[in-house]
């Protein structure tokens, strides 16, 4: 439920926006869990400052090979909200980004930097276990600084614009009141690798999420935390261009020290009409 408009190199998007939609053109992240990876770390990497569904506006300007953008939105999740009543009452979130898309070593390459911050009052994580009326408001606001990159090292000969590439995202926060300390997500994806299987694709991804030191200290020893790590591998087998079968395997080491590593295998079918 949003309005979009483009004037030359300028674009505007206003309304209710699903965060995954903002990754629609990304070759590694996004995909709704139905096109590529299934784990949330790859589909919509948690940042601690961007809700699943947001309401606001995005203004972007293309200048040569560089895209500059500013996203302003309400800090609260808007999944069940369809009206503008009360919008920005608790503060405002702002995300500023710059992304370069060009070529390096004769191959498609991109590099982006983004910074997101919120003015919403948040609970100091050191008081998270206290009763509601005793919780303390943090003296700083949550934020997230990220660097994202991608490089296609083996272009497809049968699908122009496709190929095999490596991609990654490194993000860090000031910690408290953001529960996330820092993270890394990266891996390899490929599409159009084989002449006789032009619509097959695959991906191998790894993620690492480290908790904020304040959250770790507040929950220890009641809920001992550890960094969460995971690996996911998938292969999309194109029965036809509109019927895709996927085999997927995940190995997840949860963010709790007393939880065992789990392996999850899945089969997925997607029909496009």
Query: What are the tens digits of pLDDT across the range 29-44?
Result: 999 999 999 999 999 9
**pLDDT of 13 higher than 90:** yes
**pLDDT of 25 higher than 90:** no
The 10s digit of each residue's pLDDT in 159-171 is: 999 999 999 999 9
- Comparing C-alpha atoms, which of 39, 30, 42 is closest to residue 250? 39
Tokens 């292969």, located at residue: 235
The 10s digit of each residue's pLDDT in 171-182 is: 999 999 999 999
The 10s digit of each residue's pLDDT in 108-154 is: 999 999 999 999 999 999 999 999 889 999 989 999 999 999 999 99
Tokens 């609260």, located at residue: 76
Q: How many domains does the chain have?
A: 1
> Do strands 107-118 and 93-104 pair parallel, antiparallel, or not at all (unpaired)?
antiparallel
DSSP 8-state class, residue 157: S
List the domain range (segments joined by +) for residue 215: 2-271
Give the CA diameter of the chain: 65
Query: What pLDDT was estimated at residue 133?
Result: 87
> Do strands 180-191 and 163-172 pair parallel, antiparallel, or not at all (unpaired)?
antiparallel
Other C-beta atoms closer than 10 Å to the C-beta of 185 total 25
How many residues are recorded in the chain?
A: 273
d(CA 116, CA 111): 17
Burial class of residue 132 in the structure, from the number of CB atoms within 10 Å of its CB (0-12 exposed, 13-18 middle, 19+ buried): exposed
Whole-model pTM: value is 0.92
Query: What pLDDT was estimated at residue 112?
Result: 98
Computed over every residue of the chain, the mean pLDDT equals: 95
Q: List the CATH number of the domain containing 96.
A: 2.40.160.180
């Amino acid at each position: 439920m949003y309005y979009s408009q483009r004037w030359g190199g300028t674009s505007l998007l206003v309304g209710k926006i699903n965060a995954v939609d903002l990754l629609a053109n990304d070759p590694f992240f996004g995909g709704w869990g139905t096109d590529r990876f299934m784990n949330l770390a790859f589909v919509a990497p948690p940042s601690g400052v961007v809700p699943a569904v947001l309401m606001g506006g995005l203004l972007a300007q293309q200048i040569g090979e560089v895209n500059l953008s500013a996203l302003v939105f309400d800090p609260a999740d808007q999944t069940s909200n369809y009206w503008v009543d009360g919008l920005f009452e608790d503060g405002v979130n702002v995300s500023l980004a710059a992304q370069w898309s060009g070529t390096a070593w004769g191959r498609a390459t991109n590099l982006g930097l983004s910074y997101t911050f919120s003015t919403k009052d948040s609970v100091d994580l050191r008081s998270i276990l206290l009763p509601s009326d005793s919780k303390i408001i943090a003296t700083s606001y949550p934020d997230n600084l990220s660097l994202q990159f991608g490089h296609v090292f083996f272009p497809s000969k049968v699908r122009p614009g496709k190929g095999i590439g490596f991609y990654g995202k490194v993000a860090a926060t000031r910690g408290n009141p953001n529960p996330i300390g820092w993270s890394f997500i990266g891996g390899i994806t490929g599409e159009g690798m084989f002449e006789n299987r032009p619509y097959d694709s695959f991906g191998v991804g790894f993620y690492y999420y480290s908790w904020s030191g304040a959250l770790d200290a507040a929950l220890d020893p009641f809920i001992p935390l550890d960094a969460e790590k995971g690996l996911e591998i998938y292969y999309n087998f194109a029965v036809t261009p509109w019927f895709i079968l996927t085999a997927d395997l995940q190995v997840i080491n949860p963010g709790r020290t007393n939880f065992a590593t789990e392996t999850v295998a899945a089969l997925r079918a997607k029909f496009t009409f």
